[in-house]
């Protein structure tokens, strides 16, 4: 009698299939049928075979199975090692994906999980080599989180890190953004505090003069004109108009022109120049970038502004009618369509001579 060894209780065995296989083997070898005894403490049966003229050696079969499994494992290990040697970039990509703390940090930051984001940026800083680009990126992430996290922002710490970036790597692209951030920290203040607008305007313009072709420098220029228009003084509006005209002459690219036309329309509104304001709004519409993935972004408000401005401030009924119709056709469910219908009726009566302006 040969007793099969106990197997790992976590493995399972198809009892019916095993029973059938053993019966067939016993018949072929002229032996008697096996007896299956189920051990209640195990997940597999303990098989006893009463051998006749032949032996059914389960131990030998299990040894062969173990040898096959061992050989298979060795083959897999060899193939894995070979693939890593042949394609080192793939292995490096997998490793970098698992340790990309910067990506995780920005992901957590966008989800407003500021504490977790700061931890990820700190891990990135510890993993980066001193003086490397990764170090600068990690420091920038730490500074942004400490500045913009709510409600417990840490502006002194953020300011210290921004200054460190500028000092350690002044030629880096993030150093320019850090300079802008230092000015913005004085501009964006809590409710109840009033920024020093004249000083901010000077600092923004200095940054633009130092980096006129950098996006951060252009953004600083935009903030400088916005600060000017806050006073609602005609002289400040005139200065903003002159600066914005000069900027548009040098930067006709629509990616940078959109916000310039918006600021120009605000300046001309302060100056009471409806004709120029209407031109600015039309250019704003022409250069505006639309995000098709953003369902909240549309032109309904701009159509409404152009139509009402043309009708009531300029008296350009053709333009007013054009944009009222655009509004009605593209946004038929907007609640302002009642007013649009009334405005179109009035324009039609004026055109037919039934009513005056």
Half-sphere exposure of 86 (CA within 13 A, CB side): 6
* HSE-CB for 138 with a 13 A CA cutoff: 19
Give pLDDT, residue 95: 34
* Domain residue limits, the chain: 2-95, 105-195, 214-289, 291-357
- Helix pair angle (101-110, 133-148), 10° resolution: 20
Provide the 8-state DSSP code for 332.
T
Closest CA to 186 of 204, 173, 210: 204
- pLDDT, tens digit, for every residue of 212-222? 999 999 999 99
pLDDT tens digits for range 48-73 = 433 444 444 555 555 555 566 555 55
Alpha-carbon distance 114 to 107, whole Å?
Answer: 10
> What is the per-residue DSSP string for 51-99?
-SSS---HHHHHHHHHHHHHHHHHHHHHHHHHHHHH-HHHHHHHHHHHT
Percent of the chain with pLDDT over 70: 72
Q: Give the whole-angstrom CA distance, residue 42 versus residue 55.
A: 25
- Under the banding of pLDDT at 50, 70 and 90, the label for residue 145 is very high
The pLDDT value recorded for residue 65 is 58
Given a cut of 50, is residue 267 above it in pLDDT? Answer: yes
Which tokens is 326 given?
């655009």
Which stretches of the chain are DSSP H helices? 15-29, 58-86, 88-98, 101-110, 114-127, 133-148, 155-168, 173-187, 197-210, 215-229, 234-250, 254-271, 274-287, 300-308, 317-330, 337-351
**What number is the average pLDDT over the span 155-169?**
96
Q: What is the CATH number of domain 214-289?
A: 1.25.40
* Cross-strand pairs, 48: 3, 35
Q: What is the pLDDT, as a whole number, of residue 33?
A: 45
What is the rounded average pLDDT for all residues in the chain? 82
- If pLDDT is split at 50, 70 and 90, which confidence band does 271 have? very high
Cα-Cα-Cα-Cα dihedral sign, residues 302, 307, 312, 315: positive
């Amino acid at each position: 009698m040969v007793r099969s060894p106990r197997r790992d209780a976590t493995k399972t065995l198809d009892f019916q299939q095993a029973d059938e296989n053993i019966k067939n083997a016993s018949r072929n070898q002229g032996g008697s049928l096996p007896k299956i005894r189920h051990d209640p403490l195990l997940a597999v049966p303990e098989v006893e075979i009463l051998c006749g003229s032949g032996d059914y050696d389960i131990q030998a079969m299990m040894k062969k199975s173990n040898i096959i499994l061992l050989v298979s494992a060795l083959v897999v290990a060899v193939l894995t090692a070979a693939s890593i040697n042949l394609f080192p970039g793939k292995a490096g990509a997998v490793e970098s994906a698992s340790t990309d703390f910067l990506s995780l940090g920005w992901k957590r930051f966008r989800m407003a999980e500021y504490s977790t984001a700061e931890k990820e940026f700190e891990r990135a800083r510890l993993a980066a080599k001193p003086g490397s680009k990764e170090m600068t990126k990690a420091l920038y992430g730490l500074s942004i989180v400490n500045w913009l996290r709510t409600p417990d922002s840490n502006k002194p710490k953020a300011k210290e890190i921004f200054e460190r970036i500028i000092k350690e790597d002044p030629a880096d692209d993030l150093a320019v953004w850090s300079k802008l951030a230092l000015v913005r920290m004085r501009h964006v203040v809590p409710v109840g505090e009033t920024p020093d607008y004249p000083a901010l305007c000077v600092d923004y313009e200095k940054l633009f003069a130092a980096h006129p072709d950098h996006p951060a420098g252009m953004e600083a220029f935009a903030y400088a004109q916005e600060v000017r228009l806050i006073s609602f003084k005609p002289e400040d509006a005139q200065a903003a108009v002159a600066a914005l005209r000069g900027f548009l002459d040098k930067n006709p690219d629509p990616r940078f022109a959109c916000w310039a036309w918006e600021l120009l329309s605000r300046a001309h509104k302060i100056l009471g120049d409806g004709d120029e304001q209407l031109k600015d709004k039309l250019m704003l519409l022409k250069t505006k970038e639309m995000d098709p993935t953003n369902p909240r972004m549309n032109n309904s408000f701009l159509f409404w502004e152009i139509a009402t401005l043309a009708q009531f401030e300029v008296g350009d009924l053709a333009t007013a009618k054009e944009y009222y119709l655009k509004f009605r056709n593209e946004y038929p469910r907007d609640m302002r369509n009642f007013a649009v219908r009334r405005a179109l009726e009035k324009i039609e009566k004026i055109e037919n001579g039934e009513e005056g302006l």
